[in-house]
Amino acid sequence: MTTLSSRPDSGVSVGLDVPHESAALHVTGAAVYTDDLVQRTHGILHAHPVCSTHAHARVRGLRPEPAYDVPGVVRVLTAADVPGVNDAGVKHDEPLFPDEVMFHGHAVCWVLGESLEAARRGAAAVEVDYEPLPAIVTVAEAIAAESFQGGQPTVVRGDVEAALAGAAHVFSGDIDFAGQEHFYLETHCSLALVDEAGQVFVQSSTQHPTETQEIVAHVLGLDSHEVTVQCLRMGGGFGGKEMQPHGFAAIAALGSRLTGRPVRLRLSRQQDMTMSGKRHGFDARWRVGFDEAGLLVALDATLTSDGGWSLDLSEPVLARALCHVDNAYWLPDVRINGRIARTHKTSQTAFRGFGGPQGMLVIEDILGRCAPLLGIEARELRRRNFYADDQETPYGQPVRHASRITAAWDQLVDSADIAAREAEVASYNASHEHTKRGLALTPVKFGISFNFTAFNQAGALVHVYKDGSVLINHGGTEMGQGLHTKMIQVAATALGVPLARVRLAPTRTDKVPNTSATAASSGADLNGAAIKNACEQITARLHEVDAGRGLPWEEVVREAYFSRVQLWAAGFYKTEGLHWDSSLMRGHPFKYFAYGVAAAEMEVDGFTGAYRTRRVDIVHDVGDSLSPLVDLGQIEGGFVQGAGWLTLEDLRWDSSSGPGRGRLTTQAASTYKLPSFSEMPEVFNVSLLEEAHEDGVVYGSKAVGEPPLMLAFAVREALREACAAFAPEPGFSVDLASPATPEAVFWAVQAARTGAPAPVTEGAPGVEPDQPSSDAPALHPHSEQVASRVPGNPVTGHEARP
């Protein structure tokens, strides 16, 4: 066992069931978020955007003058005010003040007012002349127009054409599935101040304070040491605050710099939904080969993500999607192409799972649709195809501990009484004509680490004061996920002091510099190891002071001070053994994989498509948990958020040719349905995989933030099973839209009722729709085509229909 992962024999605070460190503050409303600072700040100005009313247009003229006639308007910020670089992105493709608007709601300029109302009225008074340009709204339109951005990577292993030619069964199909709105409770918010020496201080709801600092500095034409960013805590980030806060922070900082007053920018819910990026929806087309026994032999797929107007994090999100198409399954010969559509929409971005869920949806959809055509139960088909220990992923990384998938699966089959319940479901379905049930199990394998190796580093600062109390600071941000709770537990364990002796100070760029985003679920792995490193430097020094006397903590600390021994330390950690070649899409990008298995039982009403979740059972692998209550919350929350993505949350953009083209039509909680109490499973059992110690990770734990989201595929697959039960004959292959809203389920039930068999065609279309047909690889003579879209089913994805 490595020293990083081993736990001491006594004084161990990791692994204790402690509540979130701010739980009491959260539930009493006393927890302070960035916007709460407004009441404590004197002389503040409020920022309001002037938003584009076109999805794509050239800005021919901008007249801010009328805004100054509005009482309370102090300043209109435009491109002419930018002292540095007029760009809010790291890819330099996101002008902060654009002369070409790229989506409906794009901010053209910003108005500062004595009150938010004054700023709003001022923004309404600004006159903008637009020259409308053609807009691409759907991925299908982008593919047709060849509107792509960024690289087009491919993961390849073996000879996919030969493998498909030799396969006993070949199927092809496609799916176009929706993105997701983050809907963090706290919308984007920044508050900026400039002090008498010109030092800029920005408080921001950001998952990536260092990058916020860098963007603010380059917009203002300053060096990084002139800008400090602090994040107190976030009311949720979910990836939506990894890159999107920077521009808002830069506007607040610019306003403060120009007026000398504090500037607050907080988006309303509607502004947040229309202006900020979301999870990428994808279009996927595939051909898959199976052998006689139902083992996967080949997969050829093209994934096109909907990147929106700028690149943002679309490239790494796509890379992670390509690296997760395999999920838990051994795919001998593969070719997975990826590309990013450029559309006139918000710039889609990180969202819990970061492309992983989108990649995994493709293979889970394939297995769910092909199982009936192969005549194999979906549960059996999945299990048969699991990785064996140390088989390699398509990108060349051995799958360590793959047998944990099978172990968790078998444990769940047992603990959730699956065999008996399958029989119950069958008899229920036989005796109920208008409601049907489905039960499904799905696995998760999720790679932990940033694909980009350099990001896998972290720093921490640990102070021990003369009285023995401890203050820690680290590079990670708290967004509700319990990172700070875990970090306090790690410090207390490493120093051998009670939890109550340790306090944690908010994340600031002047405490720990050059941090990575708190993302990729790696916050605890990276920052925990850095804190442990700092603590160990201190305990090594104290050990010498103590010289075998076994003094109590407070005494040895006092003595160390009087002996002039340094009582604080900066810690550092970098993950060893990672390498990734992004041009070849090969390497060993992940430190390890997190595993999980879920079983869901759903009941569908055939008249309406309405459904309910009768029971969910989960076994999830968190290694040796650092904080079991926190982990439980992450698993439950991630699962429900995933179920929301797959079944309820239906982003719709106006794709008509009318004047509202490109407008997000679901821009409030009234039209965008989120999971709530009524969607919670009636029975919800979550357990942690036992004997799951992870060597080489801080105190033997595993990351937990994102992987549980993907456990929700069990819900979607159970809905598919329930829909299939409406078919007159067994073995019906159900094509289910994603999100599987009640409307989509209704149409899937209609298709099943008519029992229309999946059309079997030879020479099905190639994976590349825009490829000349002469180049299209000929399919195996026995190829079968999975029904693409059921005729008469108007649910064709997530775009609003005119």
Just list the catalytic residues. Answer: 706
Instruction: For residue 85, give the H/E element and its range.
Output: none
Cβ at position 667, least distance to ligand MTE in Å: 21
Residues 200-229 that bind ligand MTE (CB under 6 A): none
Q: Which stretch binds ligand MOS (CB under 6 A): 348-356, 489-497, 664-672, 744-752?
A: 348-356
Q: Would you count residue 524 as binding ligand MOS (CB under 6 A)?
A: no
Alpha helices in 146-232 (DSSP H): 160-165, 209-220
For residue 385, with 0-12 CB atoms within 10 Å meaning exposed, 13-18 middle and 19 or more buried, which class applies? buried
Residues 234-273 that bind ligand MOS (CB under 6 A): 239, 242
Q: Would you count residue 706 as binding ligand MTE (CB under 6 A)?
A: yes
Nearer to ligand MTE, 20 or 342 (CB): 20
Cβ at position 237, least distance to ligand MOS in Å: 6
Residues 679-718 that bind ligand MOS (CB under 6 A): 706
CA–CA–CA angle 155, 158, 160 (5° rounding) = 85
Q: Which of 681, 705, 707, 739 is in the footprint of ligand MTE by CB under 6 A?
A: 705
Cβ at position 480, least distance to ligand MTE in Å: 3
Q: Which of 521, 575, 625, 738 is in the footprint of ligand MTE by CB under 6 A?
A: 521
Q: Would you count residue 230 as binding ligand MTE (CB under 6 A)?
A: no
Q: What is the 3-state secondary structure (H, E, C) of 266-333?
A: ECCHHHHHHHCCCECCEEEEEEEEECCCCCEEEEEEEEEEECCCCCCCHHHHHHHHHCCCCCCECCCE
Structure tokens at 220: 């203002």
Cβ at position 512, least distance to ligand MOS in Å: 18
Measured distance CA(790)–CA(734) in Å, rounded: 9
Q: Would you count residue 732 as binding ligand MOS (CB under 6 A)?
A: no
Q: How far is CA 726 from the centre of its chain?
A: 34
Measured distance CA(79)–CA(95) in Å, rounded: 9
- Judged by phi (left if over 0) then psi (alpha if -120 to 50, else beta), residue 73 lies in beta
Q: Would you count residue 238 as binding ligand MTE (CB under 6 A)?
A: yes
Do the bridges between strand 333-341 and strand 154-157 make them parallel or antiparallel, or are there none, so unpaired? antiparallel
Query: Is the Cβ–Cβ distance between 649 and 641 less than 8 Å?
Result: no
Residues 2-61 that bind ligand MTE (CB under 6 A): none
Nearer to ligand MTE, 281 or 705 (CB): 705
Q: How many residues bind ligand MOS (CB under 6 A)?
A: 10
Q: Would you count residue 622 as binding ligand MTE (CB under 6 A)?
A: no
Q: Which stretch binds ligand MTE (CB under 6 A): 141-149, 447-455, 477-485, 555-563?
A: 477-485
Measured distance CA(219)–CA(310) in Å, rounded: 18
Structure tokens at 558: 């006092």
Residue 644 interaction partner, one of ligand MTE, ligand MOS, none, beta carbon < 5-8 Å per kind: none
Residue type, position 276, single letter: S
- Judged by phi (left if over 0) then psi (alpha if -120 to 50, else beta), residue 355 lies in left
Site string for ligand MTE, 649-688 (x = CB under 6 A): ----------------------------------------
Measured distance CA(54)–CA(105) in Å, rounded: 8
Nearer to ligand MOS, 74 or 517 (CB): 517
Q: Which of 352, 474, 588, 615 is in the footprint of ligand MOS by CB under 6 A?
A: 352
Q: Which of 290, 351, 386, 732 is in the footprint of ligand MOS by CB under 6 A?
A: 351
Q: Which stretch binds ligand MTE (CB under 6 A): 237-245, 355-363, 390-398, 575-583?
A: 237-245
Residue found under tokens 């889609």: 348
- Give the side-chain half-sphere CA count within 13 A for 702: 30
Q: Which stretch binds ligand MTE (CB under 6 A): 29-37, 70-78, 495-503, 703-711?
A: 703-711
Measured distance CA(360)–CA(353) in Å, rounded: 10
Structure tokens at 230: 């602090």
Structure tokens at 592: 């390890």
Q: Would you count residue 519 as binding ligand MOS (CB under 6 A)?
A: yes
Residue 483 interaction partner, one of ligand MOS, ligand MTE, none, beta carbon < 5-8 Å per kind: ligand MTE
- Judged by phi (left if over 0) then psi (alpha if -120 to 50, else beta), residue 238 lies in left
Q: Would you count residue 280 as binding ligand MOS (CB under 6 A)?
A: no
Query: Is the Cβ–Cβ distance between 53 and 127 less than 8 Å?
Result: no
Q: Which residues pair with 61 in a beta bridge?
A: 129
Residue found under tokens 């489905």: 438
Nearer to ligand MOS, 89 or 98 (CB): 89
Q: Would you count residue 634 as binding ligand MTE (CB under 6 A)?
A: yes
Q: Which of 157, 169, 324, 352 is in the footprint of ligand MTE by CB under 6 A?
A: 352
Cβ at position 239, least distance to ligand MTE in Å: 4
Query: Is the Cβ–Cβ distance between 434 and 563 less than 8 Å?
Result: no
Q: Which stretch binds ligand MTE (CB under 6 A): 23-31, 385-393, 480-488, 575-583?
A: 480-488
Nearer to ligand MOS, 368 or 708 (CB): 708
Cβ at position 704, least distance to ligand MTE in Å: 6
Q: Which of 122, 372, 438, 480 is in the footprint of ligand MTE by CB under 6 A?
A: 480
Q: Which of 150, 239, 662, 675 is in the footprint of ligand MTE by CB under 6 A?
A: 239
Cβ at position 183, least distance to ligand MOS in Å: 14
Q: Would you count residue 232 as binding ligand MTE (CB under 6 A)?
A: no
* Nearest CA among 234, 138, 106, 244 for reference residue 181: 244
Measured distance CA(143)–CA(666) in Å, rounded: 24
Query: Is the Cβ–Cβ distance between 450 and 574 less than 8 Å?
Result: no
Q: Would you count residue 475 as binding ligand MOS (CB under 6 A)?
A: no
Cβ at position 65, least distance to ligand MOS in Å: 42
Q: Which residues pair with 448 in a beta bridge?
A: 592
Nearer to ligand MOS, 244 or 738 (CB): 244
Dihedrals φ, ψ of 171, to 5°?
-125, 155
Cβ at position 353, least distance to ligand MOS in Å: 6
Nearer to ligand MTE, 457 or 481 (CB): 481
For residue 345, give the 3-state DSSP assignment. Answer: coil
Structure tokens at 214: 């860098």
Nearer to ligand MTE, 520 or 569 (CB): 520
Q: Would you count residue 638 as binding ligand MOS (CB under 6 A)?
A: no
Q: Would you count residue 350 as binding ligand MOS (CB under 6 A)?
A: yes
Query: Is the Cβ–Cβ distance between 259 and 110 less than 8 Å?
Result: no
Q: Which of 13, 206, 207, 477 is in the footprint of ligand MOS by CB under 6 A?
A: 207
Cβ at position 483, least distance to ligand MOS in Å: 12
Q: Which stretch binds ligand MTE (CB under 6 A): 341-349, 596-604, 624-632, 698-706?
A: 698-706
Peptide bond before 506: cis, by omega within 30 degrees of 0? Answer: no
Residue found under tokens 């179920």: 643
**Strand ranges (DSSP E) for 142-226?**
148-149, 154-157, 169-177, 189-194, 200-204
Residues 167-186 that bind ligand MTE (CB under 6 A): none
Measured distance CA(307)–CA(292) in Å, rounded: 39
Q: Which stretch binds ligand MOS (CB under 6 A): 319-327, 347-355, 500-508, 523-531?
A: 347-355
Q: Which of 49, 153, 237, 459 is in the footprint of ligand MTE by CB under 6 A?
A: 237
Dihedrals φ, ψ of 81, to 5°?
-85, -10
Tell me which residues touch ligand MOS (CB under 6 A): 207, 239, 242, 350-352, 354, 519-520, 706
Tell me which residues touch ligand MTE (CB under 6 A): 236-239, 352, 479-481, 483, 518-524, 634, 637, 703, 705-706
